[in-house]
Amino acid sequence: MNDIDAWVWWLVGAAALGIPLVVTAMPEFGMLAVGAIAAAAAAGVGLGAVSQVLVFVVVSVALIAVVRPIANRHRSQRPQLATGIDALRGKQAVVLERVDGSGGRIKLAGEVWSARALDGDQSYEPGQQVDVVDIEGATAIVM
């Protein structure tokens, strides 16, 4: 075992850390793997064992301390571009058939939708502009 250089062991360690990264999808394992690659580079340039371990620890901790909060912030943000029914909320539509609490038809984003008034006592006549408040199934809730 002494015939194998230290940098090879660090690369083996990086590959071993890549396995739980793929299996568990925990990015911290990837950051530790990058630390192991940095330690392999340190071993490749001839630094001693203590220096290699320090490089591994410093790079790994720095990545976890910097990248993890950024990743968490991006994960908690809503997408910038709304798609699907989220994109239809707040849009204006034109009433095609009288819309009241029991139903009707509107033209929304170039398509004909069934619609119902948010306030059951309110009604909208053909040609009126309405705002889409929500989508429930295939029915637009308008006001």
Domains of the chain, first to last: 6-76 (no CATH), 85-142 (2.40.50.140)
Angle, in degrees to the nearest 10, between helices 49-76 and 6-24: 20
**3 state SS of 137:** coil
Q: Please state the rounded mean pLDDT for residues 61-75.
A: 89
Q: Please state the rounded mean pLDDT for residues 136-141.
A: 92
CA angle, corner 134, sides to 130 and 138, nearest 5? 95
What pLDDT shows up at residue 140?
93
Note the pTM of the prediction, 2 decimals.
0.54
Confidence of residue 42 (pLDDT cuts 50, 70, 90): very high
SS3 content of the chain, % helix, strand, coil (to 5): 50, 25, 25
Which tokens is 134 given? 């929500």
Q: Quick one: how far is CA 98 from the chain centroid?
A: 40
**Residues in a beta bridge with 114:** 105, 139
CA distance 66 to 128: 53
What pLDDT shows up at residue 16?
94
Which tokens is 91 given? 């849009």
pLDDT of 82 higher than 80 = no
